[in-house]
Amino acid sequence: MSVKLLLAGRRDVDGNPFSPPEAGQPWLRRALAWFHEHAEELLESVRMGTGPQGAPLLRLRLHPAAGEVSVLAASGARVVISAETSAGGPGYHIFLCDMVKRLGQELGLTWADPDEAAGVGDPTGYFHTGDEGPVEVYMLASLQESVAQVLRMRRQGESGFGLSMRFGHTFEHPGALLTPLGPRDERWLRNVYEDPRRGMDVFPWWKPGLHARTRLSRALCRMWTDVVWRPPLLDEERALFRDVARLLESAWREDPSLPYPWREWQEVLGYLGIGGTLAEEVRRRAAGVTGGLPMGYRRGAVQVALPEGWEIRIPGSLAEAHLQDGTWVARDHRRSVRFMPLEDGAEESLAPTSAERRALELEHRGERVSGRASLHMEPGECRLTAVCSSGRRRALCVVSFDDPEEQDWALGTWRSLDHAAAA
């Protein structure tokens, strides 16, 4: 039972419902500018596109642990805003409702009454009444139901569960349940099933408002799920490190008593080359931390969802990018993995070179994917080139590496290629 907002409204002109409504696309651009102005430091990402029947659609993310908020400028001057808030917690739900109300006031939206039968409205009632009390009740009920489902499936021998984890990456990490704020064990699951309030620590935004704990939890979510724990290769990685460092410093200056991740904070500052008084304090605190696994799911392997239903297992330390030609690339300073779905006949133009064809021919037949590969080995320039098939789907996979001793890793990466739609 996740908590979902589905708010319907009508676009007016200057607050007058009898005036001709503004066209959807211009109104949505105004909404985007409004979010940029009023959600400045919280705006994770924005995407403009189209929704049902070609209606203009704005998707934005306001928290690293939460899903996207959709703003649809539908026909007939209608606006539909939808979001799932249970991943963030009561504070996030209240924040989002308040922001949408303000958007409506300033951009001329008249909201429709809630309709429980149609699923329209705020199930907690907060958007309509301003009463915060039921929000916590709904969030805890959602958590208890999720935990009960995980416990049932674990009794059946299944594993690899995630709660509120973003689609696209499945992390290999010890823990009965992976969450954006770190793994939880079997004991935690049983305790939360008995009393869901014992699981409040899993919500990154419990109390309303922007405060030290909100900023700390935001940084922790990024450190667990997004940060690649090595010196940054890309501008985006450096920006992520800077954002984490900014959030931690801001939270600490407001409330130094909170439980900060001193070792990982020191690691982030080291990657950025930041020194000074605060860095010395972080280093001193980190020296006193003993035991426990370091935070960060990307310290281990990760299963990545690729275009057209493909999946592959790579080290979490590789930087990923989707190129405009449809290619997905993951790399560090000495290894890279390149993947491209193929259309009919495309493998001919991307076929291995003559030298690669003369190299050792390899074949792999998995449960759902089969393929052939050539292996080109020279010191400092090793490359595995493979064409893989799953039913009618075909793809090219190229694994490059500097050290010949990493041949087994390259072979394992190729053979990990899977196709979810064939399962």
Spell out the residues 6+ positions from residue 317 whose beta carbon is closer than 8 angstroms to its own. 228, 229, 230, 298, 299, 332
Task: List, for residues 114-158, the tens digit of each pLDDT value.
Answer: 998 888 999 999 999 999 999 999 999 999 999 999 999 999 988
Q: What is the CA radius of gyration of the chain?
A: 24
Parallel/antiparallel/unpaired status of strands 177-179 and 161-162: parallel
State the average pLDDT over residues 395-405.
Answer: 95
Parallel/antiparallel/unpaired status of strands 418-419 and 310-315: antiparallel
At residue 398, φ and ψ (nearest 5 deg) are -125, 120
The per-residue b/e assignment along 136-147, b for 16 or more CB within 10 angstroms, e otherwise, is bebbbebbbebb
Parallel/antiparallel/unpaired status of strands 182-184 and 177-179: antiparallel
Is the whole-model pTM more than 0.85?
Answer: yes
Does residue 17 have a pLDDT over 90? no
Task: List, for residues 370-382, the tens digit of each pLDDT value.
Answer: 999 999 988 888 9
Tokens of 273: 């080359």
Task: List, for residues 219-272, the tens digit of each pLDDT value.
Answer: 999 999 999 999 999 999 999 999 999 999 999 999 999 999 999 999 999 999
Q: How confident is the model at residue 20 (pLDDT cuts 50, 70, 90)?
A: low
Task: Decide if 411 contacts 387 (C-beta within 8 A).
Answer: no
Task: Decide if 215 contacts 222 (C-beta within 8 A).
Answer: no
Q: How confident is the model at residue 420 (pLDDT cuts 50, 70, 90)?
A: confident
Does residue 50 have a pLDDT over 80? yes
Tokens of 386: 């493979």
Does residue 332 have a pLDDT over 90? yes
Q: How confident is the model at residue 67 (pLDDT cuts 50, 70, 90)?
A: very high
Does residue 330 have a pLDDT over 70? yes
HEC states along the chain?
CCCEEEEEEEECECCECCCCCCCHHHHHHHHHHHHHHHCHHHCCEEEEEECHHHCEEEEEECCCCCCCEEEEECCCCEEEEEEECCCCCHHHHHHHHHHHHHHHHHHCEEECCCECCCCEECCCCHHHHCCCHHHHHHHHHHHHHHHHHHHHHHHCCCCCEECCCCCCEEECCCCCEEECCEEECHHHHHHHHHCHHHHHHHCCCCCCCCCHHHHHHHHHHHHHHCCCCCCCCCHHHHHHHHHHHHHHHHHHHHCCCCCCCHHHHHHHHHHHCCCCHHHHHHHHHHHCCCCCCCCCHHHCEEEEECHHHEEEEEECCCEEEECCCCCEEEECCCEEEEEEEECCCHHHHCCCCHHHHHCEEEEEECCCCEEEEEEECCCCCEEEEEEEEECCEEEEEEEEECCHHHHHHHHHHHHCCEEHHHC
Tokens of 187: 């004991």
The pLDDT assigned to 23 comes to 75
Does residue 18 have a pLDDT over 70? no
pLDDT above 70 as % of the chain: 93
The pLDDT assigned to 97 comes to 97
Q: How many CA atoms lie within 13 A of 291 on its CB side?
A: 0
Burial (0-12, 13-18, 19+ Cβ within 10 Å), 113: exposed
Closest CA to 377 of 411, 348, 328, 347: 411
Q: How far from each other are the two terminal CA atoms of the chain, in whole angstroms? A: 27
The pLDDT assigned to 379 comes to 82
Of residues 204 and 175, the one with the higher pLDDT is 204
Does residue 346 have a pLDDT over 50? no
Q: How far apart are CA 36 and CA 30, in angstroms?
A: 10
Tokens 């960060």, residue located: 296
Task: List, for residues 186-204, the tens digit of each pLDDT value.
Answer: 999 999 999 999 999 999 9
Q: How far apart are CA 88 and CA 193, in angstroms?
A: 19
Ordered structural domains, the chain, with CATH: 4-131 (3.60.90), 137-287 (no CATH), 300-422 (3.40.1000.10)
Does residue 19 have a pLDDT over 90? no
The pLDDT assigned to 24 comes to 81
The pLDDT assigned to 1 comes to 65
pLDDT above 90 as % of the chain: 78
Give the CA diameter of the chain: 75
